[in-house]
A and B are shown apart, each in its own frame.
Chain A
């Protein structure tokens, strides 16, 4: 009986895909991968560097193992390894993902010297006073006045927005963009119900809240209905 293959190599137009079986032991897998790649190397001589994708199916690889597999592939000539794909994620990863997609509601005043940070969206029922800071992985919605600093999309989400019932921030930050209040601003004009977002020139723009309906349709989480 022919032994089942633990490593299958498929060529695609974007390079090669390595399918690594998820039922054998990790040790076996590594050994076979090394052998297969060495054989393969001999057959395809002086080719240009080939991108490699790895699919490990239902196997969970910890960070050290991922590095080991990547190293193994890198050692072979002409192979450039990209992502390792797995169907399995840890609970910690899921929790993080979930937290980043959650709206956290906080009802208090963020006072001078205080920092409030949430992984996902923030709904603040209260004010951010001068010297206070709110930070979110996602969007920031402030029901009261924003007079301090707000930083949305802190992990690099350019699509994130900031809204406030009264927009008088000392600084606005979205992703890696920054926008501060003009010096000596006379904020006598009421800045009511406004939003801030990053435009196509990578600048933070402050505008009427309603522009978001067009600009950020993905703010809609409501499904179904009319």
Chain B
């Protein structure tokens, strides 16, 4: 039986969809059977980032409302041998079309056939968020080094802690710009981690290759030569339980290294 991981943030545009696509891709690269689930009903775009938009026939709402079987709605990623699938969100209906109970049932069904279910969560804390976390066993909170994003992450972590069926959330800090952190114009990794007091599972640099790759429907994790790709691959391996220190590529900051070590019990 697989595990469901929800990728969430509170604030929009911080990189939930990008993180979902790349963690899913990186887990598949590790040989795991992965199903991506887009719960951003009405504003779907995980399919676009994955380059799978043209193959959508049915969507999540069709499954929930019984218009098709789950396997009919799943879109297979041809770049992988039967390892990576996407359950797309509906584009035409609104979020209230699905209830948390229905989501819970759906995710449980997927867990029978997949090692990992990666759930892309919509922004906000309303029903869309409640749906996305309903079937999750674990959570990854994405933030950027901005005060407002960190504030929203804090709010989300509070809500996740209340839903005590989910294990303690892990943190991804996305879109880091080294020079801004050095000049103190951006919150630094240490500050954010201390403030949110949850475990850091990865940091991803701000990298225009990420945007280019998304626009081409080829998640950056497929490209072995980019900084961001290595960061996502490392997050995937940490999810699998490997103990991977921060790469020099990811950051040279000593205190960051300290945090990661602490997380993985190296001390």
Task: List the interface of chain A (C-beta within 8 A of B).
Answer: 109, 111-114, 127, 129-132
Contact = CB atoms under 8 A, between A and B. Distances in A.
B197 A113 contact: no
A129 B195 contact: yes
Nearest to B125: A113
B154 interface: yes
Contacts of A127: 197
Nearest to B10: A112
A131 B197 contact: no
Nearest to A148: B154
A131 B147 CA distance: 12
- 6 tightest A-B contacts by CB? A111-B158, A112-B155, A112-B154, A113-B155, A111-B154, A114-B158
B132 to A, nearest CB: 18
7 contacts: A111-B154, A111-B155, A111-B158, A112-B151, A113-B158, A129-B154, A131-B155
Interface of B: 151-152, 154-155, 157-159, 161, 195, 197
Nearest to B151: A112
B162 to A, nearest CB: 9
A180 B34 CA distance: 50
A146 B182 CA distance: 26
A129 B147 CA distance: 12
A127 B197 CA distance: 10
B152 to A, nearest CB: 7
Contacts of B155: 111-113, 131
Contact of A112 (B158, B161, B197): B158
A112 B197 CA distance: 13
A127 B196 CA distance: 10
Contact of B151 (A109, A114, A130): A130
Nearest to B153: A112
Interface centre among B151, B157, B158, B159 (most CB of A within 10 A): B158
B65 to A, nearest CB: 33
Contacts of A111: 154-155, 157-158, 161
B143 to A, nearest CB: 12
Contacts of A131: 151, 154-155
Contacts of B151: 112, 130-131
Interface centre among B154, B157, B161 (most CB of A within 10 A): B154
Contacts of B197: 109, 127
B47 to A, nearest CB: 32
